[in-house]
Structure 1
Amino acid sequence: MFITKVFILIIIASITNINNTSALKLECTYREPDLHWEAFSRDYTCEGTIRLDGDDENIRTVTNTHREQMRNADVRGLMIVQQRDLQKFPKGLERHFHHLIGIDFEDCGLTKISSDDLMPFKELLQINLSGNRLTELPNDLFQFNPKLKKIDLSGNLIMHVGLEIFNNLQHLTMINMHDNACTSDNAYATKKEELKELVWELSVECPPTLDMLSSSLFGSKEFIDNIKRISGEDSDDVRNELLNEIQGLEKIVQELKRRL
């Protein structure tokens, strides 16, 4: 009986140890940093380091040594700076910090970013991903972040940018894209006309991949509406209209393939 109990305790201890070592941990120093980005200069911020233990991409624990009378719900900014071993955007941050308006992952090792990564942060005003290793920015990257004002993606390896990436961002006051594989040193804008020119420049100098283009064309509202119509109507006219649209889009894709 004694041996059995000891064996069970060993198994439990082993499982506990596995769970502990496979979880990511965010170690925070909490402060109101003196930075030029307004979200961080005014608001309670976690300046942190993520401890990469195991293959789990989720943040399971966060150090909670807050300033007096402050707690996780008061955190508005998150800064993870110069952490080159951070190659993926960590998941589960929203379970700890519900009201982030600023995210700064400057000079880390991120190789990709998606709308799923940013989806929990509906109130996001500013994001700094400069100095990472990003190569592509998908069409829908900011679809869940309509309040964004400032975006810094400088100093990456970006070659392709989705055509619709900024379409839903009506409050933009800054885009910084300089020092990327497809941009010039002056790919920076803060005024309305400058922002329009920069978005146009990106569409030319940083063309979308064929996958991005396909998503943009065949995922459009008009195209989907026509699919719904064709499924609900027995109409040769609608079928022909849809067929013509598909053929036109295919010609565009083929021409882009030829140019690329």
Structure 2
Amino acid sequence: VFRLLSTLTLLLTLRYTFSIAITCKFGYQDWVVIGNVYTCDVKNLDNREILANVTEIEGTHLDEKTNSDVRKININLQMCQFLPFGFEKFFPNIEGLRIAHSNLVSLTQSDISVFPKLRSVDIFNNNLKWLDADVFEKNPEIEYLYFGDNQIKSIGYDALKPLKKLKHAVFHYNVCLKKNAIGEEEIQALQEIMNQNCDPGHKTIATEKKRINELEVERTYQKQKIKELEEIVKVEDSQIMWMLWIFIPLLVLGILAAVYFYRNRSPYQTNSILLPRSNGIDIERLENETNDTNGYSSGATNLI
């Protein structure tokens, strides 16, 4: 039990140190590729912390809808320098992610790989300066990319190569790239331009990128630690439940036995229990004298 309490304390510390509650306005919105889908339109978000962890979703669903029905997350005109982790725990079926006009400075593989069904990524008018080569590696279902109006100077080599289903890519109004592509041939040409113009080792952003990557490692560790602690809690909670299943029936049987013996004790035992011995007084002699007195009084009454 002590170990379980210690684990729970550590889990709660990690989970809630940078906890964040997300407020959603739920409704239907029309999006490229995925169509008119049930959406969480995020409101009142102010996140400048890379370790932010989503611990609660607030908002009222439309009739008969649940978190599992949400297909897109829309973060527009908010403060979201880093995408909080933990959305996937509440919204497991996300197909579209949009972050627009929200000062986003980093988007990494770990941010989007938690959404394996992702088909549309729209990161418009933010402060992105680079994309790593592996950013899309674990999201092969992506069909649409929109990274227009950012500050991108660096893109990892062949970053678009894992996206075999990609149909439309928009990268206009960036530092190293000002081009869009529709269809397989144009996308291949766009990839070649990226490899030529968007140096993945751009010196002006190396220091900032290193800092973000170090924080990213810390975030990955925190996520893994939370997951491990949750598993420990599940196992130990299960063990405690088994102990309770054994202990509680024994406790009930003990209480029933005590009640049974209490109800079936003799009157003499009752008096002996209820009348304490104190100051050297012989309780039994006192009882006998009381009985004799009562007998004498009864006899005198009869004679009268």
1:152: Cα distance to partner?
A: 0.5
Q: Which residue of structure 2 aligns with residue 236 of structure 1?
A: none
C-alpha contact (below 8 Å) 1:22/1:54 kept by paired residues: no
Q: Which residue of structure 1 aligns with residue 188 of structure 2?
A: 196
Q: Secondary structure at the match of 1:129?
A: strand
Q: Secondary structure at the match of 1:47?
A: strand
Q: Structure 1 counterpart of 2:30, which letter?
A: D
Q: Which residue of structure 2 aligns with residue 242 of structure 1?
A: none
Q: Which residue of structure 2 aligns with residue 176 of structure 1?
A: 170
* TM-score when normalising by structure 1: 0.68
CA deviations 1:108-131 (Å, max 9, x no partner) are 111111101112111100000111
Q: Aligned partners of 1:166 and 1:38: how far apart in 2?
A: 18
Q: Aligned partners of 1:24 and 1:45: how far apart in 2?
A: 19
1:143: Cα distance to partner?
A: 1.1
C-alpha contact (below 8 Å) 2:82/2:104 kept by paired residues: yes
Q: Structure 2 counterpart of 1:200, which letter?
A: E
Q: Secondary structure at the match of 1:117?
A: helix
Alignment counterpart, residue 86 of structure 1, candidates 80, 89, 97: 80
Q: Aligned partners of 1:32 and 1:86: how far apart in 2?
A: 22
Q: Which residue of structure 1 aligns with residue 200 of structure 2?
A: 208
CA deviations 1:135-189 (Å, max 9, x no partner) are 11001001110100000111110001111211111000011000001123xx001
1:42: Cα distance to partner?
A: 1.9
Alignment counterpart, residue 38 of structure 2, candidates 44, 60, 65: 44
C-alpha contact (below 8 Å) 2:81/2:103 kept by paired residues: yes
Q: Give the structure with the larger helix fraction.
A: 2
Alignment counterpart, residue 159 of structure 2, candidates 152, 160, 165: 165
Q: Aligned partners of 1:34 and 1:149: how far apart in 2?
A: 16
Aligned length in residues: 189
Q: Structure 2 counterpart of 1:60, which letter?
A: T
Q: Structure 2 counterpart of 1:93, which letter?
A: F
Structure 1 unmatched ranges of 5 or more = 1-15, 212-260
C-alpha contact (below 8 Å) 1:64/1:72 kept by paired residues: no
Higher RCO (CA-CA < 8 Å; seq separation 6+): 2
Q: Which residue of structure 1 aligns with residue 61 of structure 2?
A: 66
Q: Aligned partners of 1:77 and 1:62: how far apart in 2?
A: 14
Q: Aligned partners of 1:133 and 1:61: how far apart in 2?
A: 27
1:99: Cα distance to partner?
A: 0.5
Q: Aligned partners of 2:114 and 2:130: how far apart in 1?
A: 21
Q: Aligned partners of 1:174 and 1:106: how far apart in 2?
A: 18
Structure 2 unmatched ranges of 5 or more = 1-11, 204-304
Q: Structure 2 counterpart of 1:29, which letter?
A: K
Q: CA RMSD in A?
A: 2.2
Compared with structure 1, are the counterparts of its residues 90 and 68 closer, same or farther at alpha carbon in structure 2 (3 Å cutoff)? same
Q: Which residue of structure 1 aligns with residue 103 of structure 2?
A: 109
Q: Which residue of structure 1 aligns with residue 231 of structure 2?
A: none
Q: Give the structure with the larger strand fraction.
A: 2
Q: Aligned partners of 1:202 and 1:181: how far apart in 2?
A: 11
1:71: Cα distance to partner?
A: 0.2
Q: Report the structure number with the largest CA radius of gyration.
A: 2
Alignment counterpart, residue 32 of structure 1, candidates 19, 25, 28: 28
1:52: Cα distance to partner?
A: 3.5
Q: Aligned partners of 1:135 and 1:51: how far apart in 2?
A: 22
C-alpha contact (below 8 Å) 1:161/1:208 kept by paired residues: yes
* TM-score when normalising by structure 2: 0.58
1:49: Cα distance to partner?
A: 2.0
Q: Which residue of structure 1 aligns with residue 146 of structure 2?
A: 152
Compared with structure 1, are the counterparts of its residues 20 and 150 closer, same or farther at alpha carbon in structure 2 (3 Å cutoff)? same
Q: Which residue of structure 1 aligns with residue 272 of structure 2?
A: none
C-alpha contact (below 8 Å) 1:75/1:99 kept by paired residues: yes
1:50: Cα distance to partner?
A: 5.0
Segments of 4+ moved more than 3 angstroms: 19-22, 50-56
